[in-house]
Amino acid sequence: MIVITNPSAIANEISLIDSLFEEGLSLLHIRKPVFSEIEMVEFIKQIKLEYRSNLVLHNHHQLAEDSGINRIHFSEKDRKNSFLVNPDQKIFSTSTHSIEDFNSLENFDYAFLSPVFSSISKEDYHPKENLFEALKSRTNNKTKVIALGGINSENIKKTLENGFDNVALLGTIWNHKNPIKQFKLCHKIVLSHSL
C-alpha cells in the first residue's frame, strides 16, 4: 500500500511516518511541492535510514542518489516535459487522469490513475468519468495501475475488486484524528484482498 505525504506540514509528521513504516507501509511518496531543496534534504534526513529504499521523490529528483533513494515520481506535467535518464537504475512512477494517458505510458513501473472517487484532501476534485468502467479498456499491462482520489477504508475492497492493482492514500490518513489507526485498518483490508 502507498501513502502520499500531506503537501503541507503535519504535527509530529516524521514520527508518524516512522510508525507507518513499522506498521507495514510499503512506499511513502514524498510530495512537498513548496519545499526548497534544503527543506527536502532536512525532511529526508529525519526519516530513519532503514526506510530510504521505501521513499519516492516527487520533486527535487536530483537529491535521490545522494539520499539513497532510487524511486522517482513524475507529475503529469513533468512526465510530458522530461526524458527518463537511466531507466534501468531507477523505479519510475507517474500520475495519469485518463485511461488513454495510462495506456500510452512506457518505462513506468506504476502510475496513479485519479480521481477514482471525490477527493478527501482537495476541495471540488471529483471524477470526470467512471474509472472502473474505463479500466475495462486497459491495454497497458506492463505498468501497474494505482487508484488515487477519495480512497478510504469503505471503498478499498471495491477498488481492488474492479481492476486496480493497488491503492494510494492521502486524505484518509492525514485528515484522520488517528492516522496510524486509520492506516492499520486500510492495510488490513488490502492484505485480506491479496490473500
Q: Which regions of the chain are under pLDDT 70?
A: 82-89, 195
Residue 179 in 3-state DSSP? helix
Runs of H (alpha helix) within the chain: 13-22, 37-46, 64-67, 76-80, 99-103, 131-134, 156-161, 171-174, 179-194
Query: Residue 71: what pLDDT?
Result: 95
Query: Residue 83: what pLDDT?
Result: 60
pLDDT single digits (tens) 139-174: 999 999 999 999 999 999 999 999 999 999 999 999
User: Does domain 2-194 fall into CATH 3.20.20.70?
Assistant: yes
Query: Residue 85: what pLDDT?
Result: 53
Query: Residue 81: what pLDDT?
Result: 76
Distance CA 52, CA 56 (A): 9
Q: Which residue has the cell 513548496?
A: 34
Query: Residue 135: what pLDDT?
Result: 96
Query: Residue 138: what pLDDT?
Result: 97
Q: pTM score > 0.75 for this model?
A: yes
